[in-house]
Protein backbone atom coordinates (compact mmCIF):
# COMPACT_ATOMS: atom_id res chain seq x y z
CA UNK A 1 0.00 0.00 0.00
CA UNK A 2 1.32 3.44 -0.94
CA UNK A 3 2.50 5.73 1.87
CA UNK A 4 0.78 9.02 1.05
CA UNK A 5 1.64 11.58 3.72
CA UNK A 6 0.92 15.28 4.12
CA UNK A 7 2.74 17.39 6.72
CA UNK A 8 0.78 20.43 7.88
CA UNK A 9 2.03 23.34 9.94
CA UNK A 10 2.73 27.07 9.84
CA UNK A 11 5.94 28.63 8.46
CA UNK A 12 8.81 27.76 10.79
CA UNK A 13 7.22 24.56 12.13
CA UNK A 14 10.06 22.44 10.74
CA UNK A 15 8.07 20.73 7.98
CA UNK A 16 10.96 20.74 5.53
CA UNK A 17 13.46 19.16 7.91
CA UNK A 18 11.02 16.54 9.11
CA UNK A 19 9.66 15.78 5.63
CA UNK A 20 13.15 15.07 4.35
CA UNK A 21 13.92 12.72 7.25
CA UNK A 22 10.57 10.95 7.03
CA UNK A 23 10.83 10.47 3.26
CA UNK A 24 14.29 8.93 3.68
CA UNK A 25 12.99 6.60 6.42
CA UNK A 26 10.05 5.47 4.26
CA UNK A 27 11.98 5.40 0.96
CA UNK A 28 9.51 7.67 -0.83
CA UNK A 29 10.15 11.13 -2.35
CA UNK A 30 9.81 14.30 -0.37
CA UNK A 31 7.77 16.66 -2.53
CA UNK A 32 8.27 20.28 -1.54
CA UNK A 33 6.20 22.75 -3.51
CA UNK A 34 8.42 25.49 -2.07
CA UNK A 35 11.48 23.89 -3.70
CA UNK A 36 9.63 23.46 -6.99
CA UNK A 37 8.58 27.11 -7.02
CA UNK A 38 12.04 28.35 -6.01
CA UNK A 39 13.45 26.36 -8.93
CA UNK A 40 11.14 28.30 -11.26
CA UNK A 41 12.36 31.56 -9.69
CA UNK A 42 16.01 30.55 -10.16
CA UNK A 43 15.41 29.71 -13.83
CA UNK A 44 14.00 33.20 -14.41
CA UNK A 45 10.93 32.05 -16.32
CA UNK A 46 7.82 34.29 -16.57
CA UNK A 47 6.19 31.99 -14.03
CA UNK A 48 9.27 32.33 -11.84
CA UNK A 49 9.02 36.12 -11.91
CA UNK A 50 5.40 35.92 -10.76
CA UNK A 51 6.27 33.46 -8.02
CA UNK A 52 9.16 35.67 -6.86
CA UNK A 53 6.82 38.63 -6.33
CA UNK A 54 4.25 36.55 -4.43
CA UNK A 55 6.84 34.92 -2.17
CA UNK A 56 8.61 38.19 -1.40
CA UNK A 57 5.45 39.68 0.09
CA UNK A 58 4.57 36.50 2.01
CA UNK A 59 1.49 35.63 -0.03
CA UNK A 60 0.30 32.27 -1.35
CA UNK A 61 0.53 31.15 -4.97
CA UNK A 62 -2.89 30.53 -6.56
CA UNK A 63 -4.68 27.23 -6.03
CA UNK A 64 -4.84 26.42 -9.75
CA UNK A 65 -1.10 26.88 -10.18
CA UNK A 66 -0.19 24.80 -7.14
CA UNK A 67 -2.57 21.99 -8.10
CA UNK A 68 -0.98 21.71 -11.54
CA UNK A 69 2.53 21.73 -10.06
CA UNK A 70 1.62 18.87 -7.72
CA UNK A 71 -0.31 16.94 -10.37
CA UNK A 72 2.76 16.84 -12.61
CA UNK A 73 5.04 15.79 -9.77
CA UNK A 74 2.79 12.97 -8.57
CA UNK A 75 2.74 11.52 -12.09
CA UNK A 76 6.49 10.81 -11.98
CA UNK A 77 7.44 7.14 -11.45
CA UNK A 78 9.23 7.70 -8.13
CA UNK A 79 5.96 8.78 -6.49
CA UNK A 80 4.10 5.57 -7.35
CA UNK A 81 4.88 4.01 -3.95
CA UNK A 82 3.89 7.14 -2.05
CA UNK A 83 5.25 10.53 -1.04
CA UNK A 84 5.72 13.02 1.76
CA UNK A 85 4.13 16.33 0.78
CA UNK A 86 5.58 19.50 2.31
CA UNK A 87 3.81 22.77 1.53
CA UNK A 88 0.69 21.33 -0.12
CA UNK A 89 -2.20 21.51 0.37
CA UNK A 90 -2.58 24.96 1.93
CA UNK A 91 -6.28 25.54 1.27
CA UNK A 92 -9.41 23.41 1.37
CA UNK A 93 -9.66 23.74 -2.42
CA UNK A 94 -6.17 22.26 -2.75
CA UNK A 95 -7.05 19.49 -0.27
CA UNK A 96 -10.07 18.43 -2.30
CA UNK A 97 -7.96 18.45 -5.48
CA UNK A 98 -5.32 16.29 -3.76
CA UNK A 99 -7.94 13.74 -2.77
CA UNK A 100 -8.88 13.45 -6.44
CA UNK A 101 -5.24 13.14 -7.48
CA UNK A 102 -4.56 10.23 -5.07
CA UNK A 103 -7.85 8.42 -5.61
CA UNK A 104 -7.04 4.73 -6.04
CA UNK A 105 -3.46 5.18 -4.78
CA UNK A 106 -4.11 4.37 -1.12
CA UNK A 107 -5.21 6.43 1.89
CA UNK A 108 -3.84 9.85 2.79
CA UNK A 109 -2.28 10.35 6.24
CA UNK A 110 -2.17 13.95 7.49
CA UNK A 111 0.23 14.92 10.28
CA UNK A 112 -0.13 18.38 11.82
CA UNK A 113 3.00 19.88 13.44
CA UNK A 114 1.97 22.40 16.10
CA UNK A 115 4.33 25.12 17.42
CA UNK A 116 3.49 28.23 19.54
CA UNK A 117 3.45 31.46 17.51
CA UNK A 118 6.18 33.12 19.59
CA UNK A 119 8.53 30.23 18.85
CA UNK A 120 7.63 30.37 15.15
CA UNK A 121 8.55 34.06 14.97
CA UNK A 122 11.88 33.40 16.69
CA UNK A 123 12.74 30.55 14.33
CA UNK A 124 11.81 32.44 11.20
CA UNK A 125 13.80 35.50 12.20
CA UNK A 126 16.92 33.35 12.66
CA UNK A 127 16.46 31.10 9.62
CA UNK A 128 19.02 31.14 6.82
CA UNK A 129 18.87 29.88 3.25
CA UNK A 130 21.56 29.09 0.70
CA UNK A 131 21.89 31.91 -1.81
CA UNK A 132 23.10 29.43 -4.44
CA UNK A 133 20.80 26.39 -4.26
CA UNK A 134 17.89 27.91 -2.29
CA UNK A 135 17.77 25.16 0.36
CA UNK A 136 17.01 26.13 3.96
CA UNK A 137 20.02 25.71 6.23
CA UNK A 138 19.79 22.52 8.26
CA UNK A 139 19.70 22.72 12.08
CA UNK A 140 23.23 21.29 12.22
CA UNK A 141 24.44 24.29 10.16
CA UNK A 142 23.96 26.71 13.08
CA UNK A 143 26.92 29.09 13.14
CA UNK A 144 28.00 28.17 9.62
CA UNK A 145 28.43 30.75 6.85
CA UNK A 146 28.26 28.26 3.98
CA UNK A 147 25.68 25.72 2.82
CA UNK A 148 26.54 22.18 3.92
CA UNK A 149 25.08 20.84 0.67
CA UNK A 150 26.71 23.00 -2.03
CA UNK A 151 29.02 25.48 -0.27
CA UNK A 152 26.96 28.54 -1.23
CA UNK A 153 26.67 31.55 1.08
CA UNK A 154 23.93 31.39 3.72
CA UNK A 155 21.68 34.45 3.77
CA UNK A 156 18.35 35.45 5.32
CA UNK A 157 15.39 34.63 3.10
CA UNK A 158 13.64 37.67 1.66
CA UNK A 159 10.38 36.45 3.21
CA UNK A 160 11.87 35.97 6.70
CA UNK A 161 12.30 39.61 7.74
CA UNK A 162 10.18 40.69 10.73
CA UNK A 163 7.45 42.45 8.74
CA UNK A 164 7.00 39.63 6.25
CA UNK A 165 7.12 37.01 9.03
CA UNK A 166 4.11 38.66 10.67
CA UNK A 167 2.32 38.73 7.32
CA UNK A 168 3.09 35.07 6.64
CA UNK A 169 1.71 33.96 10.00
CA UNK A 170 -1.41 36.07 9.43
CA UNK A 171 -1.84 34.51 5.97
CA UNK A 172 -1.54 31.06 7.52
CA UNK A 173 -4.14 31.81 10.17
CA UNK A 174 -6.54 33.28 7.63
CA UNK A 175 -6.14 30.92 4.69
CA UNK A 176 -4.66 27.68 6.01
CA UNK A 177 -6.28 27.23 9.42
CA UNK A 178 -9.59 26.25 7.74
CA UNK A 179 -7.63 23.44 6.08
CA UNK A 180 -6.52 22.19 9.49
CA UNK A 181 -10.14 22.12 10.63
CA UNK A 182 -11.08 20.28 7.43
CA UNK A 183 -8.62 17.48 8.17
CA UNK A 184 -9.11 17.18 11.94
CA UNK A 185 -12.27 15.14 11.54
CA UNK A 186 -10.46 12.52 9.44
CA UNK A 187 -9.48 9.20 11.00
CA UNK A 188 -5.92 9.43 9.63
CA UNK A 189 -5.21 12.92 10.99
CA UNK A 190 -2.65 13.14 13.79
CA UNK A 191 -0.97 15.98 15.73
CA UNK A 192 2.62 16.17 16.98
CA UNK A 193 4.33 18.75 19.18
CA UNK A 194 6.86 20.59 17.00
CA UNK A 195 8.42 22.66 19.80
CA UNK A 196 10.98 20.02 20.82
CA UNK A 197 14.35 19.13 19.35
CA UNK A 198 14.39 17.88 15.72
CA UNK A 199 15.12 14.36 16.95
CA UNK A 200 12.25 14.40 19.45
CA UNK A 201 9.84 15.76 16.85
CA UNK A 202 10.91 13.13 14.33
CA UNK A 203 10.40 10.30 16.82
CA UNK A 204 6.87 11.55 17.53
CA UNK A 205 6.22 12.04 13.83
CA UNK A 206 7.33 8.53 12.88
CA UNK A 207 5.17 7.07 15.64
CA UNK A 208 2.16 9.12 14.50
CA UNK A 209 2.54 7.83 10.93
CA UNK A 210 2.83 4.24 12.15
CA UNK A 211 -0.13 4.58 14.49
CA UNK A 212 -2.33 6.11 11.78
CA UNK A 213 -1.63 3.16 9.54
CA UNK A 214 -2.58 0.48 12.05
Of the residues 15, 21, 30, 57, which is catalytic? 15
Check 52, 114, 127, 188 and give the catalytic one: 127
Residue 77 burial class via C-beta count within 10 angstroms: exposed 0-12, middle 13-18, buried 19 and up: exposed
Whether the bond between 176 and the residue before it is cis, its omega within 30 degrees of 0, is no
Closest residue by Cα to residue 61 from 34, 43, 83 = 34
Q: Are 7 and 86 in contact (CB under 8 A)?
A: yes
Is 168 a catalytic site residue?
A: yes
Q: Which of 21, 73, 168, 190 is catalytic?
A: 168
- State how far the Cα of 154 lies from the Cα of 4, in Å rounded to an integer: 32
The active-site residue out of 73, 90, 123, 190 is: 90
Numbers of helices and strands, H then E, in the chain: 9, 7
State yes or no: is 190 an active-site residue. Answer: no
Tell me if residue 38 is catalytic.
no
DSSP strand pairing (30-32 vs 128-130): unpaired
**Is-catalytic flag, 96?**
no
124, 202, 180, 200: which is closest to 8 by C-alpha? 180
Catalytic residue IDs: 15, 90, 127, 157, 168
Amino acid sequence: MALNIVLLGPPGAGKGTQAERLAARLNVPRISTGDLLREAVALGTPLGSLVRAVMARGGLVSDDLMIEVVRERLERPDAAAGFVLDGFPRTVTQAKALEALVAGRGPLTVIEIRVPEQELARRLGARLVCGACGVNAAPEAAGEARCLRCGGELVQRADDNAEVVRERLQVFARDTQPLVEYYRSRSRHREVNGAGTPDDVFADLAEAVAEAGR
